Amino acid sequence: IEHIVLKLYAQSDGNVYTQHLIDSSSIHYTGDIETFCATDINQYFFTTKTGLWLQNNTLTHIDATEKNCKLLNTHSNSIYLKDGEGAFYVNSKNATITPIDNTKHININNVVAAANLNDELVFITNTSPFIHWANTNYWNNKQRNKKILPKNVRIKKAYSKNNYLLLLTEPEGFIVADEKGDIVLQLSGSLSSVEIDKISDLIALPNGETLLLTKTSILHCTNTKHAGIFREINNLSDTPQSMLYANDNIYLTTKNSLYSAKLSASKIEKTSFKKVKDFQHPIKSMVKYKSTIYLSDGDRVFKVKNYDLQEINIPNAISNGYNQSLANIKDEVWAISIVENNLVGFCITNRAAQEIKIPLTIDYINITAIEFYENFILIQQDNDKWFYTLVDDRKNEWTEINLDHANQKMILNTPRSSVPIVITKETINEFDLTRNSLGKILIKESIDHIAPIFISDSTLITKTQSRGFTNIYSIWLYHFSPSNGYYKPSKTLASLLSGTIIYNALYTPDSTLILATNNGLLYFTNSIKDIEPIVNIHKVKLSSDRNEQIIKNRYLSEQEYRHNDIAPKYKYRSLSASFSGMSSNNWSFGLSNIHFSSKLSGIDKDWLPWTKSNSREINRLSPGEYTLSVRTQNYLGQISQPTSISFSIKPTFFETNYFIATITFFLLIGLYSLYRWRVYYHAKVRFKLERLINTRTEELVKEKEKADNLIARVLPRDTASELKEKGRVTTQRFQMVTVLFSDIEGFTRITEETNPEILIDQLDRFFLYFDSVVEKYRIEKIKTIGDAYMCAGGLPQKNRTNPVEVVLAALEMMSYMRDINRQNSDYLSVWELRIGIDTGPVIAGVVGRNKLSYDIWGSTVNIASRMESSGEPGQINISGNTFMLVNDYFTCPFRGRMPIKNRGDVDMYFVNGIKPELSVNNLGIKPNHKFKVHVQLVRLGDLEEFIFDKLEKGLPTNLYYHNLKHTVDVYTQVELIGRAEGVGDEEMLLLRTAALFHDAGHLIDYSTHEEMAVKLAREILPEYQYSDEQISLISELIMSTKLPPQPKSLLEEIICDADLDYLGRTDFIPVSNTLYKELHEHGKVGTLREWNYIQTQFIEKHSYFTKTARKLRNVNKRSQLNKLKKWLEKN
């Protein structure tokens, strides 16, 4: 460096430090250093314009000359060259030089380096023939002065290692030549993201590998014994098609040629390929059988063994057939082709084998691919559907492969794989053709960036895209883990630029990976080892607007910096840091792509996200102790050990703890004094105001509570709200209300015989229980008059189930009275209850001004009263109107007729209890689940009316398809399909309810209407007495209609088929157009042609799930599909 010599040495803290070996005082005496050579730890040779010098304990002038001279270094000797006098060996022990014969002719100005090849000294020059042998034994050898490079090449740097020459040239790039002068590696920019002409120097490593240096990077080149390019086959005229390995030979086909080579893992870099034959027609397929290779060019079949090529006769029908190929079937090799829409196979390894003939169910023109896996044959149609058949199957039926195309992708032609491979979202699986489903797991990890390229029983090789490094992908080796039952990653074999296309892969028994790529035929042995990434902080400074303080600057430090307990202190606040890293995978140039992450203690809670930036700037740091830590990550996901540097920022006087504590103390005293004064002042004022306000507020609250409680007790909730808002209540007419009257038999006599206080307590006890019962069944209590109790169901909220609910309430009232009588035997004949019920229209309203009362009027009230008065003690007497509505639920014997004014004779029935089959334990007392489901089916009518009204009034006008009509269609269709599929009553209830809600979410949001529909269902359905379990099932049914449909149960299949019923209806075209109009206005689809194309693709992949839907709609769906295709052809 600037004519001085420095020694570099590393310390455990990760920094590299310098030591002067030859300083400026020596240079002043000897002159400027021109070349330098170190032969021992404390002994160094160098040349100046005055000759050769030795520096050890003393400075010695070995050779004084004014001629041009220089020092060269080989791995075993130092060579001293002097213009016109040749070369000399430098003896480091006695500090002498010995002349080398036959070297005086060498022009010292052209010599770049000296090297040892086969223990013989050679000189590398910048002029042809580039290599000059110094030993006379080689002087007349045919390799002497061999011209290994073109004349216009200039050698920039040269080294020798393990009998190889490492040459950095212009413009040929980096070259490795052997002792014969033959080039074994020439690396240009095709495999590199770094321009080769930017390489300024190279360093030979002991293991035969090389480091190449640019101004900003250190690049690692692997020894050609471990990885490289087969040079003899690097310039193929055609792209490599396929590879096979047999008898230690590799066989490679291009479009029209077959190549072969003998592989040796120990000398793989010297592999020599031989062209076996050129073919007139393109090579279609190549297979291996035992130790023999068979290949076909579409017309003929050949057998290859030991470089001999022999044509095999096959029937003309197969030779002239369509799509001819070779396949391993039944442990034999077969020639397969399509003949007259039949798949015909002829066994070429066993002439006695019976010919294969399998009829094709589709026109062979529509077949785009044929694959063979053991005894299975697969064909692919032009619609991307795959079908398979078993060769031994006498029926030869073709079965469609069951794939979820949205989540599964089939990978074929993986070398050595005996079954197809399927990539899912979470795993890579074999596909089990015997069961037409996914087979065993091969790889169990996040695989969105992985694709298998080779597989065997114990080995799996994948192409893995490096996350965060889009310009690189890696080749990973997986080994089978018997304990886990799948393949687990072992190591990386190679990494390539993303522009490198892999056509075929082969993994040999000696663990050598061979890749046929667009950059040639590459090889990688299993001896490649990864280099762990490293990181270094090389510049850190603190600055202000005008000044800066350097904490560390450059990679090298002139003084050893030792860590201690106290970090250096600085006064500036803006931090700027730069760092660098190195990573390599021992293959190609430019792969030292790395990301950095840093963490500054006191600022960052965790490591910052990975970034390509190798710098960090932070402004306005507070005083304190800091440690900056940096780490790096390479494209393989390997993370380096972090490196750190500590520093401290000094506070100014005004930031010291003493100053802050003093100011804080006085400030707190002042604030506290002010606070106490203001608290005292405001407390006096607040106390006066609060006392006045509290007095008046308490009076108002008490009066309001009295009024609200009174109204709530005498009026229904909705009526009370209307009265508060409007000051009056509108009279309402209800078409179906069930009125209940109850009365205690002989109450007048009881009042005369019973203590009034006891009587009132008993009545209060009865009526409190009756209140709880009517509240339970959502019945409205109207009033009590003496011992009479009146209530009505179906108001103020209309519903269809009020007759059943009122009768249930009556049964509970009657049961309660019986229990009371049993518990109090003294009153057994006293508290006998009569109940009368009728159903019909009533008028409801509020009467009175000062004393408000909610009441109902009408003939229904009168008949209910007559039913009670004409009843019998301990019996529930209902009218014929009520009987018609509850007869399906209760046991109701006929008891006669009763004349009523203006109504004629009215039928009367006693209610003995719930029907046994609808009651718990068939006792007729409590309703069972079946009873509740039947009532829910009736209540569904109320829900239907409510939802339809909401949709009609609330749906946006631009919903041309997802409108009320669509909901009605689905609501109707689920019942039709459900009945045909034999679902039960409760399942039908769930289906119809889900159909009502499935598009109700459009009231809230268009894009997420399914989720919004579930939200509405969970809010509304509890009001209609649906259980939590029922609501959860309904929510699942709603979500199952989300496209694409993926039903998991029969009910989900039914609602999915009902939702897409229009696909098979005769009005499909107009309905489809309304759906297009809606989607187009919402920005979901473009032109009508794009929409019809999407519809065509959807219908082709769609299939109804239930037998009923398939029977009703499949035929017409195919007809609609044909219409769409014709429209697309015309338009």
440-496 tens-digit pLDDT: 888 887 565 777 888 877 888 888 877 777 777 888 888 888 888 888 888 888 888
Q: What is the pLDDT, as a whole number, of residue 904?
A: 78
Query: Is the pLDDT assigned to residue 139 strictly greater than 50?
Result: no
Residues of the chain above pLDDT 70, percent = 82
Q: How confident is the model at residue 876 (pLDDT cuts 50, 70, 90)?
A: very high
**How far is Cα 344 from Cα 396, in angstroms, rounded to an integer?**
12
Query: Is the pLDDT assigned to residue 591 strictly greater than 60?
Result: no
What count of other Cβ atoms lies within 10 Å of the Cβ of residue 934?
Answer: 19
912-951 residue pLDDT tens: 999 999 998 888 888 999 999 999 898 898 899 999 999 9
**How far is Cα 1125 from Cα 1100, in angstroms, rounded to an integer?**
11
Asked whether the beta carbons of 330 and 375 are under 8 A apart, the reply is yes
**pLDDT, greater one: 207 or 289:** 289
Cα angle value 164/165/166 (rounded, 5°): 115
Asked whether the beta carbons of 450 and 428 are under 8 A apart, the reply is yes
Mean pLDDT within 996-1009? 89
Query: Is the pLDDT assigned to residue 685 strictly greater than 80?
Result: yes
Asked whether the beta carbons of 36 and 46 are under 8 A apart, the reply is yes
Q: What is the pLDDT, as a whole number, of residue 882?
A: 93
813-853 residue pLDDT tens: 998 988 887 777 554 446 788 999 999 999 988 766 666 67
Asked whether the beta carbons of 613 and 443 are under 8 A apart, the reply is no
Nearest CA to 77 among 111, 116, 50?
116
Q: How confident is the model at residue 625 (pLDDT cuts 50, 70, 90)?
A: confident
Q: What is the pLDDT, as a whole number, of residue 231?
A: 63
Which DSSP symbol is given to 1111?
A: H
What count of other Cβ atoms lies within 10 Å of the Cβ of residue 749?
Answer: 10
Q: How confident is the model at residue 708 (pLDDT cuts 50, 70, 90)?
A: low
**How far is Cα 67 from Cα 70, in angstroms, rounded to an integer?**
10
Q: How confident is the model at residue 586 (pLDDT cuts 50, 70, 90)?
A: very low
**How far is Cα 130 from Cα 150, in angstroms, rounded to an integer?**
10
Query: Is the pLDDT assigned to residue 678 strictly greater than 50?
Result: yes
Spatial CB neighbours of 514, under 8 Å, sequence gap ≥ 6: 243, 250, 505, 506, 507, 508, 521, 522, 523, 524
Q: Which sign, positive or negative, has the C-alpha torsion 639, 640, 641, 646?
A: negative
Q: 293: number of CA atoms within 13 Å, CB side? A: 25
What count of other Cβ atoms lies within 10 Å of the Cβ of residue 71?
Answer: 18
Query: Is the pLDDT assigned to residue 723 strictly greater than 50?
Result: yes
Nearest CA to 49 among 28, 70, 79, 24?
70
Please give the model's pTM, rounded to 2 decimal places: 0.50
**pLDDT, greater one: 799 or 179:** 799
Q: What is the pLDDT, as a whole number, of residue 102?
A: 76
Q: What is the pLDDT, as a whole number, of residue 195?
A: 55
HEC-encoded secondary structure of 824-844: CHHHCCCCCEEEEEEEEEEEE
CA distances from 116 to 29, 86, 128, 681 (A): 34, 17, 19, 102
Structure tokens at 328: 């391993």
Q: What is the pLDDT, as a whole number, of residue 23?
A: 60
Query: Is the pLDDT assigned to residue 434 strictly greater than 80?
Result: yes
Q: What is the pLDDT, as a whole number, of residue 598?
A: 93
The region of weakest confidence among 162-166, 197-201, 509-513 is: 197-201
Q: How confident is the model at residue 722 (pLDDT cuts 50, 70, 90)?
A: low
Query: Is the pLDDT assigned to residue 411 strictly greater than 70?
Result: no
Q: Which parts of 963-1062 are beta strand (E)?
A: none
Q: What is the pLDDT, as a whole number, of residue 726?
A: 61
Mean pLDDT (the chain) is 80
Q: How confident is the model at residue 594 (pLDDT cuts 50, 70, 90)?
A: confident
Asked whether the beta carbons of 597 and 610 are under 8 A apart, the reply is yes
Strands 292-296 and 285-289: antiparallel
Q: How confident is the model at residue 132 (pLDDT cuts 50, 70, 90)?
A: confident
**Chain Cα centroid distance, residue 140:** 69
Which DSSP symbol is given to 366?
A: G
Q: How confident is the model at residue 2 (pLDDT cuts 50, 70, 90)?
A: low
Q: What is the pLDDT, as a whole number, of residue 740?
A: 94
The region of weakest confidence among 210-219, 758-767, 1007-1016, 1079-1088 is: 210-219
Q: What is the pLDDT, as a whole number, of residue 1053?
A: 92
CA distances from 566 to 245, 550, 572, 627, 871 (A): 65, 17, 18, 12, 102
Nearest CA to 504 among 443, 414, 419, 418?
414
Q: What is the pLDDT, as a whole number, of residue 391?
A: 84
Q: What is the pLDDT, as a whole number, of residue 442?
A: 86
**pLDDT, greater one: 401 or 172:** 401
Q: What is the pLDDT, as a whole number, of residue 447?
A: 60
CA distances from 1039 to 827, 1022, 1025 (A): 59, 19, 22
Asked whether the beta carbons of 257 and 277 are under 8 A apart, the reply is yes
Mean pLDDT within 189-218? 62
